[in-house]
């Protein structure tokens, strides 16, 4: 009985002792990924984004989320993943990455946001929302 009590006390001390209680994290010697600039141009039913990223030594990518703008409250709906460029060694630091997005015509307005991701799975902050609506063409 004393041995069981002693083992329970030792187990309690081991389980509640100080120290990290999470899996080891990768050590990153390079800067975290960041968005340097985003330039947007609307032409007809297309939105062209020129995204420049930094950081992410060994490979960098990005994610684009899209939300529809409610016509009554002028607020975005739920954000959904629209496109993802996975980090790879072809995408190097300070590379400009163009992305062409097709917009639905009519009264639909969208908001897009972008964030960078590196090969270690680290993310940058989301960009400010970019609002876009297809241009109407009349003959």
Q: Collapse the DSSP code of 42 into the 3-class scheme (helix H, G, I; strand E, B; otherwise coil) and give the result.
A: strand
In a domain, 92, yes or no: yes
Q: Which residues pair with 63 in a beta bridge?
A: 84, 115
Q: How many residues does the chain have?
A: 139
**pLDDT for the residue numbered 83:** 93
- 47: containing domain: 30-133
Digit-coded pLDDT (tens) for 18-65? 666 666 666 656 778 889 999 999 888 888 999 988 887 778 889 999
pLDDT at 28: 57
Number of domains in the chain: 1
Q: What is the mean pLDDT of the chain?
A: 81
pLDDT of residue 139: 34
Residue 7 inside a domain? The answer is: no
What pLDDT was estimated at residue 98? 83
Among 36, 49, 38, smallest CA distance to 124 is for 36
Nearest residue to 65 via CA among 110, 10, 22:
110
Domain of residue 129, CATH code: 2.60.40.10
Looking at residue 137, its pLDDT comes to 47
d(CA 54, CA 117) in angstroms, rounded, equals: 10
Q: What are phi and psi of 130, to 5 degrees?
A: -110, 115
**Confidence band of 94 (pLDDT split at 50, 70, 90):** low
pTM higher than the cut 0.75:
no
């Amino acid at each position: 009985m004393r041995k069981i009590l002693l083992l329970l006390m030792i187990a309690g001390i081991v389980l509640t002792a100080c120290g990290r209680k999470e899996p080891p994290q990768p050590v990153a010697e390079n800067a975290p990924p960041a968005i340097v600039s985003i330039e947007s141009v609307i032409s007809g039913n297309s939105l062209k984004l020129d995204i420049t990223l930094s950081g992410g030594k060994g490979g960098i990518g990005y994610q684009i989320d899209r939300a529809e703008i409610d016509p009554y409250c002028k607020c975005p709906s739920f954000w959904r993943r629209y496109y993802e460029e996975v980090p790879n060694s072809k995408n190097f630091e300070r590379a400009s990455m163009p992305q062409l997005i097709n917009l639905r015509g009519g009264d639909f307005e969208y908001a897009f946001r972008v964030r960078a991701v590196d090969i270690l799975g680290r993310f940058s902050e989301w960009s400010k929302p970019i609002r876009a609506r297809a241009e109407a063409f009349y003959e």
